[in-house]
């Protein structure tokens, strides 16, 4: 099975609701690698926020920032930060609107305010630490992704004004901000070219709205049992939840382990 490749989302897929990797998932990935299958992480997280997971699972290929940064066997093969003038324009507008933001570079993140409750709740759900405050961060660093924190509806005027960005609300107070057209599918395309594998031999497991394009980009897309209904609708099949050995059962059904 050395001509096959499997992409795994992290939150709600590799990780269960306790933000831990189930033992059956660890064993399944180990068996995949023994079978010669290429194992890739595909996530919206920045690289520095899943380094421990990569080390624990011994995975050196990944798609991060929802497709904006791609590493194949330890080597960076694609990176596309946000355009500087566009992110600065957004930054200035959010400061004026008093909407707190968190910006991500390749290696670190910074917030525009200190100790804000919305940021605490949003990042807390992902078990992320509260970043240092630095209002000048977008001016000095290449930014790959941003998070906006506000009540539903407060972002509407910014969405209309900043058409070059894609806004995806994933939490009561938090919204992912990505370049329009920036999806995991773009990263997967670069990964497939680098690996030289066929589309028909690619698989992906995911649970969230940012996994839609990924499941459609591969030969076989698998939605977790805890996935959004819209993802289950377009998936080739639905496995069990991340809390109930979903990856193990899905890989068994695919006969990859």
Among residues 9, 201, 207, 211, which one is catalytic? Answer: 9
Closest listed residue to residue 68, CA positions, set 217, 183, 175: 183
240 labelled catalytic: no
Task: Evaluate whether 78 touches 70 at the Cβ level (below 8 Å).
Answer: yes
DSSP string for residues in 189-246: HHHHHHHT--GGGEEEEE-SGGGHHHHHHSSEEEE-TTS-HHHHHHSSEE---TTTTH
Taking the C-alpha atoms of residue 46 and residue 56, their distance in angstroms, rounded to an integer, is: 17
Which DSSP helix (H) or strand (E) runs through 167?
Answer: strand 165-169
Q: Which residues on adjacent β-strands are paired with residue 220?
A: 203
Q: Which residues on adjacent β-strands are paired with residue 7?
A: 40, 204
Active site residues: 9
């Amino acid at each position: 099975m050395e001509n096959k490749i499997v992409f795994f989302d992290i939150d709600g897929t590799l990780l269960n609701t306790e933000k831990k990797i189930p033992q059956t998932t660890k064993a399944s990935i180990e068996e995949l690698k023994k079978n010669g299958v290429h194992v890739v992480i595909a996530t919206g997280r920045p690289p520095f926020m899943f380094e421990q997971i990569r080390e624990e699972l011994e995975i050196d290929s990944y798609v991060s920032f929802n497709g904006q940064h791609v590493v194949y066997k330890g080597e960076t093969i694609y990176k596309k930060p946000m355009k500087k003038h566009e992110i600065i324009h957004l930054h200035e507008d959010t400061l004026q609107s008093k909407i707190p933001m968190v910006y991500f570079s390749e290696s670190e993140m910074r917030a525009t305010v200190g100790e804000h409750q919305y940021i605490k709740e949003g990042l807390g759900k992902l078990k992320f630490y509260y970043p240092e405050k630095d209002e000048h961060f977008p001016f000095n660093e290449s930014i790959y992704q941003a998070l906006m924190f506000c009540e539903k509806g407060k972002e509407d005027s910014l969405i209309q004004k900043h058409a070059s960005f894609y806004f995806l609300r994933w939490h009561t107070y938090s919204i992912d901000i990505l370049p329009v057209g920036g999806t995991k599918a773009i990263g997967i395309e670069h990964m497939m070219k680098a690996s030289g594998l066929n589309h028909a031999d690619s698989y992906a497991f995911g649970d969230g709205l940012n996994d839609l394009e990924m499941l459609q980009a591969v030969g076989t897309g698998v939605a977790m049992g805890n996935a959004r209904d819209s993802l289950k609708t377009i998936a080739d099949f639905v496995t069990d939840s991340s809390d109930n050995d979903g990856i193990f059962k899905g890989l068994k059904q695919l006969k990859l382990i």
